[in-house]
Chains A and B, each alone.
Chain A
C-alpha cells in the first residue's frame, strides 16, 4: 500500500493518529490514505508512542505536523526544538512536514496556542528567515499553514494570501491550505471564503486540512467561529472544500479531530466522505480530458 520513498502524500483522505485508535488501526488495517501526527507528541525518548508509530508507518504514509515551533515568533527559533524535529524526520522519513503561520512561545514560556501576527514587511522577513532556517535544519521542504484568527491587527499592511505567497516565493516552501481555517477567518472578518479560495495559489498547496468549528458570537452579537477540532466537518466547510478541489484538483486531505475524539469508525466515515469527494473530482477531470 505504501510507496516507501514517496516524497509526497497521496491525494487521498488522511486521519490524525490518536493513541486511542492505535489498536483499531493495527488490527483492522483500514484503507486510509495517510496518517498525520503532531510532532511534539512523539518527542519522548521511547515507549509506546514510538512503538506504535513505527508499526503504523510501516503500512501508511506519514504527515508530520508541528504545533510548537513558533515560526511567527519575534524570538529566534529554539535550536533544541529544531534538533528534536530533525531527529523525528530522520527516524520516520515522513512524506510531509508542516507547521503554522503563528507563534506560541514567548519569554514567559510555551503558550500552547497558535497566536496570530500582523502582516507587515518586518514579520514577512522574520517568518521567511524562520522557514529558511527550518528547511535547512530538516534538510527538506516544509509546508506552511494558513491560520484561523479572531482578531485583526491595525498595523497589517499585507494581505494574508499575499503574505503566504511571498513566504513561499522567498523560501521555496509549500503551503498547507486549511479550508476550515479559511471559513473561520472569513466569517470572523466578514470576508468571502470562496474569494479566498479563488485567490489562493493552489499550485503551491501540498496538503489540505479539514476540521470542525464551534460557533459563538462576539460582543456586538456578530457570528464568531472558533477553530475547535472537536466535531465533524461542517457542511459549509465541506462545500468550500469541494469548491477548492474543483479549483486545485485532488490533493492529500487531512481530517483533524483532536478534541472529544470519537471512535475510529466515526473518523473513518469522515475519511470516506473526503475520499468520495476526491474520487468525484478525479472522475470529473478524467471525463473532461477524454
Chain B
C-alpha cells in the first residue's frame, strides 16, 4: 500500500472509533486486534484533552474533571492542533465552550477560558522591557494628544459581561474563595517580567480608555472617548495606571492631525 494511503487510512480509523480498523494492521498472532489499535486511539484523545486541561486549569476546575474531559473530547474531535506546539492548542476552545449546550448553565465559562488563552499567550510571549512612567515623562506635552501607546507583547484585554477576572482569581489557591463581584469586568493580562499578572481594571471611563488604547487610538482620541463616558475621567491616573502595570512597551507619534 502506498504510504500516503496507508497513513490516511490509519489516521481516519484513529479519529473515528466507529470506523473499521485499517486493513493492513495486524499483530504477532496474525489478525488485527481492536484492543491494540485502541491504544493509539486512546493516546491521541488523552494527549489532546490533557493538553487542554493544562492550558485551561480554571475552566476545568469550574466544571470538574469528568465534565471537562468530556467537553474537551468533543472539541478535540473537530479541532486538531494546527502545529506541534501544544501550548497553542485550544485558541478556539473559548468559542466552542460558549456554544457547548451542556455548559449553558455557566454563562461565564467561555470568558474564563478566554482569560486562560490570554494567560498562556502572555506566558510564552516575546520578552520586552515595559515603558516606565519615567520614560513617558520625557515626551513633549505638546505631542501628547498624538501619542499612540504600543501594548507590551504579552498584554491583552479580556472583556466579559461577567466577573470573569474575579472568578479566575478565586480559583488560584487550593481553597476557592468567595466571589463577591457581580456584573461585567475588563481584565488586563500582562507579563512585564517573568510573572503573568491578571488585573481587573476599575469600572467606568478607565475601561473606555484602556479599550481605546488597545485599539490603537491616539491618547487624544482615547481621552475624548473616556470623557464622553464620564466627565470625571482622570486622564493622568488612567495613563499612569497602564504604565505601572507594565502594559505599554513603546510609543508612536501619530502623523495624522489631532482631531
Residues of A whose CB lies within 8 Å of any CB of B are: 40-41, 43-51, 67-70, 73-75, 78, 80-81, 103-113, 115, 117-118, 120, 122-123, 126, 150-155, 188-191, 216-220, 222, 224, 226
Contacts and interface: CB of A to CB of B under 8 A. Distances in A.
B65 interface: no
B47 A113 contact: yes
Interface in B35-81: 35-37, 39-40, 43-44, 47-48, 51, 80-81
Interface of B: 1-4, 6-8, 10-11, 14-15, 24-29, 32-37, 39-40, 43-44, 47-48, 51, 80-87, 122-127, 153-154, 191, 194
Given A109-B80, A153-B26, A222-B29, A47 B125 contact: yes
**Most chain A CB inside 10 Å of its own CB: which residue of B7, B24, B37, B51:** B7
Contacts of B36: 150-151, 188, 218-219, 224
Contacts of A105: 84
Contacts of B124: 44-47, 49
A80 B84 CA distance: 11
Given A106-B7, A219-B35, 7 more contacts: A43-B85, A47-B124, A51-B194, A69-B84, A107-B8, A113-B44, A152-B26
Contact of A220 (B26, B29, B153): B29
Contacts of B126: 45-46
Contacts of A80: 83
Contacts, number: 152
Nearest to A49: B124
Contacts of A68: 83-85
Contacts of A73: 7
Contacts of A122: 2-3
Nearest to B83: A110
Contact of A47 (B29, B35, B82, B194): B194
B14 A190 contact: no
A74 B6 contact: yes
B119 to A, nearest CB: 11
Given A68-B84, A219-B35, A151 B194 contact: no
A151 B25 contact: yes
Nearest to A126: B3
17 contacts: A44-B123, A48-B194, A50-B127, A74-B2, A103-B7, A104-B84, A105-B84, A106-B8, A110-B82, A117-B6, A118-B3, A151-B25, A154-B24, A188-B28, A216-B39, A219-B34, A226-B39
A151 B125 contact: no
Nearest to A153: B24
Given A46-B127, A48-B123, A150 B40 contact: yes
